[in-house]
Amino acid sequence: VKTIRALLLLSVALSLPSIATGGPDPAKIIAVTIDDLPFVGYGLGLGETAAYTDRLLQPLAGRNIQAVGFVNERNVLIPGEMDARTGLLKKWIDRGMILGNHTFSHLDSNATSLQEYEADIIRGGTVTGILQKASAGAPRYFRHPMNHRGKTPEYRAAVDQFLAAAGYSAVPFTIENSDYLFAYVYAAAVKAGDRELAGRVMRAYLEFTEVICGWMEQQAAEAFGRPIPHVLLIHANALNSDGLDALLDLLEKRGYAFAPLGRVMSDPAYQTPDGYTGAAGPSWIYRWQLSLGKPSGLKGEPEPPEWIVREFEARRKASAVRRPEGSSGLS
């Protein structure tokens, strides 16, 4: 029996070109997902936003990565700017990306009635639906804003059912790097022409991404006893437009190959139930740890550098702008 199993494993191994050629570990694949499209601009004009969008898409297209961008159509359907803002989304389609629904207005399901939430989902798929028809057959993806799934099991189940009936797959994430904190300070530094600070923020961002990747890989191994494919969550902002190439390099150096979201989500780990019932929006790895009866690593998660948090809080207070998750406007 052992021999047969060994032969079977060998034949599987031989059928995977990546192993035969000594390429990346097939378990070490990662999908890139980018939230809050068209763009979190912190006051950038439409022209600048278009240039930043090109820069964000360039390293993805250059590496043949099919990222999924999650759209808040509230920030597309703005009178007088609809064409320009739809044009930003069209850039994604033209470069082979997939657009997903992130609700119309970035609603927090923890604070929204079921009816209102479902209406916002329907309303959130209008423009992307039209654009996506040009690339027919594209999967329909949905991501909960703030990764909040609602306060009660009944609410969560109702939304799941609603999404399934509408043909949407709800998309989890496993790795995120608190990019919105860095992005806010970065945008302010760029605006002020402070290159030294912008450079420092970028270096800290990439260093923290490295730390969080290592941590989440370890959490996955503790949950499943093996490496699992990952879903990276970042946002459409200037920090990533300027830093995505380096970030993707960093992931490749860690041994990752980039894969479409559908392929990553077909890993059996992604069938694990979400065992998290709290109000926050943590990585699905912690949720899976809970439903698998494993200790959750959530409380031990590495924090972003203190100086970044401090700069973020100070600047946010000064300009009284809400967190990007709550107001992903361009304006």
Residues 6 or more apart whose CB falls under 8 angstroms from that of 158 comprise 114
From candidates 35, 73, 120, 217, binder to Zn ion by CB under 5 A: 35
* 36 in contact with Zn ion (CB under 5 A): yes
Q: How far is CA 88 from the centre of its chain?
A: 18
For CA atoms 173, 213, 57, 309, give the dihedral sign.
positive
Distance of alpha carbon 286 from alpha carbon 176, whole angstroms: 13
Residue found by looking up tokens 């609410």 in the block: 155
Query: Interface with Zn ion by CB under 5 A: which range of 31-39, 158-166, 171-179, 247-255?
Result: 31-39
CA 172-71-92 angle, 5° bins: 105
Residue nearest to Zn ion (CB): 35
Query: Interface with Zn ion by CB under 5 A: which range of 33-41, 181-189, 209-217, 246-254?
Result: 33-41
Query: Interface with Zn ion by CB under 5 A: which range of 36-44, 126-134, 163-171, 215-223?
Result: 36-44
Nearer to Zn ion, 143 or 230 (CB): 143
Q: Residue 44 has which token pair?
A: 């950038």
For residue 6, count other CB atoms closer than 10 A to its CB. Answer: 10
Number of residues counted as binding Zn ion (CB under 5 A): 3
Q: Residue 55 has which token pair?
A: 């820069």
Shortest separation between residue 72's beta carbon and Zn ion, angstroms: 7
* 120 in contact with Zn ion (CB under 5 A): no
Query: Interface with Zn ion by CB under 5 A: which range of 26-34, 53-61, 142-150, 300-308?
Result: 142-150
For residue 48, count other CB atoms closer than 10 A to its CB. Answer: 14
Nearer to Zn ion, 35 or 311 (CB): 35
Nearer to Zn ion, 52 or 224 (CB): 52
Binding site for Zn ion (CB under 5 A): 35-36, 145
